[in-house]
Amino acid sequence: MLPIIVCTIGSKTLSVMEQSAKVYAPDNPVFVFHNKPSTFGEAYNAAMQAAFVTYSEIIIANDDVVLTPDTMPVLMEDVENLKQSHARLGFVATYSDNARQSQDIRYTKPFLKQVDRLSPYFAWVSKQAFETAQFPPINWYSDDVMCEDLNAEGFIHFVSRAYIHHAGSQTVGVDYNKLNKEALPWICENRPKYVTKWFS
C-alpha cells in the first residue's frame, strides 16, 4: 500500500490526523517528518525525496487533515482509472471543507475534474512528477508554482471525488497577509510569468 507522508513542526492536530489514518487507512503506513522550522516547500521536498527512494507513488498529507472512511478507497479508485488514460498525472487531490474554491465542498458537489492548480492537502503524486518539478522554498503559493511547473511539462492535475476534513492553516499559520508578502518576492524573481497570470 502507498505510504502517507506528513510534515509537521508540532501541529496541535497531528494526533487527530494520525488516528484517522490508523482507523480509516490501516494498510497505509504513515511517515511523519518532524521538521525544523522551514518553508512548506522545503519540508515536503525533503520528505518526498526520502520516500521516493523506496516508493514510486506516495500520498502527501498536511498534518491538519482528518480522513473519512471513504477517503483512501475513492481516491485510489480515481487514481487507478486516471492512470489508464493519462501517462503524465500530476497531483490527484481530495476535496475539503477548508480549501480553495475549486476543492471546497461548500461551493461544489465533489466530482472528478481536471484543474490547472490545486492544494495537495491530501494528494497522490508519483516519483515521475516529483523528478520533473518540486515545490519552491516558500509557504503560500508553493503548490501553485509546482502545479504550473508540471503543467508546462505536460502533466495534468485532478481533484478526486474523495474528501478529507481540513482543520486549516495549522502548519504555516493564519497571518495571510504576512504569508502572501513573504511569497511574492520569490515568485517575482523566479517565476515572473506567474505574477502576471495570477495577480494581473
State yes or no: pLDDT of 4 exceeds 60.
Answer: yes
In 3D space, the residue among 114, 25, 23, 68 whose CA is nearest the CA of residue 4 turns out to be 25
Give the pLDDT confidence of 65-106 residue by residue, as tens digits. 999 999 999 999 999 999 999 999 999 999 998 778 889 998
Predicted pLDDT at 177: 77
- Band (pLDDT 50/70/90 cuts) for residue 174 is low
Cα separation, 46 vs 38, whole angstroms: 11
- Band (pLDDT 50/70/90 cuts) for residue 34 is confident
Burial bucket for residue 71 (CB in 10 Å: 0-12, 13-18, 19+)? buried
Cα separation, 21 vs 120, whole angstroms: 16
Number of neighbouring beta carbons within 10 Å of residue 94 = 33
In 3D space, the residue among 158, 140, 160, 148 whose CA is nearest the CA of residue 91 turns out to be 158
Contact 132, 179 (CB under 8 A): no
Q: Amino acid letter at 132? A: T
Q: State the pTM of this model.
A: 0.92
Cα separation, 177 vs 164, whole angstroms: 26
Which of these ranges, 4-18, 164-178, 184-198, has the smallest mean pLDDT?
Answer: 164-178
Residue identified by cell 490545486 is: 118
Q: In order of start, what are the domains of the chain with their CATH numbers?
A: 4-199 (3.90.550.10)
State yes or no: pLDDT of 36 exceeds 80.
Answer: no
- Band (pLDDT 50/70/90 cuts) for residue 197 is confident
In 3D space, the residue among 115, 172, 103, 107 whose CA is nearest the CA of residue 141 turns out to be 172
Give all strands (DSSP E) within 25-112, no chain letters.
Answer: 30-34, 57-61, 65-66, 89-95
